[in-house]
Structure 1
Amino acid sequence: MTFLPRNRLLSLEEIATIAERFIERGVRKIRLTGGEPLVRRDVVDLTRWLGAHLGKGLDEVTMTTNANRLADHAGDLFAAGMRRINVSLDSRDPETFRFITRHGDIDRVLGGIAAAKKAGIAVKINMVALKGLNDQEIAPMLQWCGEEGFDLTLIETMPLGAIDEDRADRFVPLTAVMDDLQARFPLHPADHRTGGPARYWQLGETDTRLGLISPLTNNFCAGCNRVRLTTEGKLFMCLGHDDQVDLKAAYREGGIAAVDDALDVAMLRKPARHDFSIEREAAPAVSRHMSVTGG
């Protein structure tokens, strides 16, 4: 693990100030993601700071988490204004989960999910479909989500960062997954939208929605309005490109006016689409891993 000097990271105040500049521009939803946001000691304070803008230009503050520390923070997050979270959970089988995460404790994660539900936070499970690892668990995961009242979003593996194996060996097209699920479950298209790239289906008479994020079999770039700010202050305009604008340097050198100018530049440089392709495993579309910018 690499520990960065404090001055290389954005402070809570700097993150909040930059977030306020986005809100001034009409951004209505902010998601705290990672890496893992709950390892940051001041994450609840940051949530409170952002939550103060709810109803005053901001509609929602959400989070994507691995849920390892969620049981410790669920009540505070709800009190700060968070009403919805995404939990990254690729398997409920203890051994498979430990293999995928390299160290994870599935009981701790499930405990965090249960704590969020008890606190009144709506839970959506994010599951990356992985051939030969968890593809046989997709239908049971949807069944479990329906029973628990959770939404489920399935995600195709993306060519981000170098890994130890060929991604093509793990790639599962969600078109094939949906053929199987529709044969097993009563699924019908839903008009629900969260501002993200997922397309949704309703699970029978339950409240559970099934979402699909398929960057390879069904490009979603035309509907993308997301940008991602790292803890080091780099603003990435697209998951599929390395182009970025340094908002930390802009703020520290020129204050709020410089941030506004940098945001003008960044919005003009947002690309029309990503450059993902499952055929190019030896050379990932971008060198950074998902944990650098979040999903």
Structure 2
Amino acid sequence: MSRLIDSFHRRIDYLRVSVTDRCDLRCTYCMPKGFKGFEEPEHWLRHDEMARLVGLFVSQGVSKVRLTGGEPLLRRGVTDLARQLTSMSGLHDLSVSSNGTQLAHLAGPLKEAGVHRLNISLDSLDPACFARITGRDCLTDVLQGLKVAREVGFNPIKLNMVVQANVNVSEVVRMVAFAIEHGFVLRLIEPMPIGDTGRATAGVNLTRLGEQLADQYGLVPEILGRGAGPARYWCTADRRMSLGVITPMSQHFCEACNRVRLGVDGTLYLCLGQNDQVPLGKMMREGASDEALLDAIHQGIAAKPERHEFNEKPQQIVRFMSQTGG
């Protein structure tokens, strides 16, 4: 089997696939209030088109795929797509990132479709703060979704908390206690200057905060980590709960990057913090053969940038996170 190796000798074995750029929340760091610049539905890849492109990546050694958005559980037939992907030989891990609002009625079907893992965005356990960040008063729906997800057998479940200065940083301790109580993996994330919304979001140095929390709760470094992500982890002695920090701003992890992203229109994004991209969807709809698409994929991977420049060029990325895929 061929492998996707970039010019910095990084093996790319992880693909994140946006199935929609729509979302039922308006998180302040992700999408501006009143945003109307969504991709036209006729430009969305159909499920069979997504499966074709994912299959090409899998044929080149990609073994981990995550369905993202926007909010992927809003896309009609997403469980059917998941079933198509989990049937692919060579794909060993299919996961879903979600805001959790639709999870109560879709956790079971996702599990039945073969989804292995869930990442759920949860920035606050305080209803007022949650509504202020997301634009909706629906915390109870998310918590119910988490309950159902545990009941149908998802384990581990990762909670992603974007830590914002003067907004929810005071709730981190409460979130750690919540994760310990329920056996969740909690990942604290520094906001990135992606789009105007990202640049307007003040973060916290999580490199230091993670170490402080680990000391406070008696957590020990988790050498092997949790999955394919960039987080550094600590865990409880019984390994029931893990705490991770994702630090693109205070301590970047680009030298170990193993991923690329596929937008809902089939655009291949090579780095969150750069503008390099390959129009695979456009090529496919213009009749490109699998061989031509594979050639474009390999050329794209060869051109993958060494690292982001969020600190040096914070104004560089004008697209919003929801347009790239989480």
**Range of TM-score over shorter length:** over 0.9
Cα deviation code 1:110-164 (max 9, x no counterpart): 1111111111112100001111111111111111111101101111111110129
Q: 1:245 offset after TM fit, Å?
A: 0.4
Tell me the SS of whatever aligns to 1:50: helix
Answer with 25-34 or 4-13: which moved more: 4-13
Aligned length: 288
- Of 161, 174, 177, 1:140 maps to 174
Moved over 3 A (4+): 1-6, 164-167
- Write the mapping of 1:224-235 to structure 2, written as runs, cut at 5 A: 224-235=257-268
1:11-90 aligned within 5 A: 11-53=46-88, 56-90=89-123
SS where residue 61 of structure 1 aligns?
strand
| Structure 1 match to 2:281 | 248
2:85 counterpart SS class? helix
Q: Matches of 1:269 and 1:3 in 2, distance apart? A: 27
% identical equivalent positions: 40
Say which of 269, 275, 284 aligns to 2:315. 284
Q: Go from structure 1 to structure 2 and tell me whether the alpha carbon gap of 1:92 and 1:264 turns closer, same or farther (over 3 Å shift).
A: same
Partner of residue 293, structure 1: 324
User: How much does 1:176 deviate?
Assistant: 3.1
**Counterparts of 1:151-230 in structure 2 under 5 Å?**
151-163=185-197, 166-167=200-201, 170-193=202-225, 194-230=227-263
Name which of 111, 114, 117 aligns with 2:147: 114
Q: CA deviation at 1:165?
A: 7.3
1:162–1:9: structure 2 CA closer, same or farther, 3 Å change rule?
same
Give the structure 1 partner of residue 25 of structure 2.
Answer: none
Q: Tell me how far apart the structure 2 counterparts of residues 145 and 266 of structure 1 sit (CA, whole Å).
A: 39
Provide the rounded CA distance (Å) in 1 between the counterparts of 2:87 and 2:233: 30
Deviations along 1:193-231, whole A, 9 cap, x unmatched?
312211111123341111111011111001111100010
Normalized per residue, which structure has more helix?
1
Equivalent pair of 1:31/1:63 in contact (CA under 8 Å):
yes
* Greater mean deviation of Cα atoms: 204-213 or 7-16: 204-213
Superposed CA RMSD in Å reads 1.7
1:257 aligns with 2:291: yes
Query: What is the TM-score normalised by the length of structure 2?
Result: 0.84
What TM-score comes out, normalization by structure 1 length? 0.93
1:236 aligns with 269
SS of the equivalent of 1:154 reads strand
Aligned pair in 2 of structure 1 residues 76, 228: CA closer, same or farther (>3 Å)? Answer: same
1:75 Cα offset (Å): 0.5
Distance 1:166 1:87 in 2: 23
AA matched with 1:70: L
Q: Does 2:133 align with 1:131? A: no
- Higher RCO (Cα < 8 Å, 6 or more apart): 2
**3-state SS, counterpart of residue 305 of structure 2:** coil
Gaps of 5+ in 2: 1-35
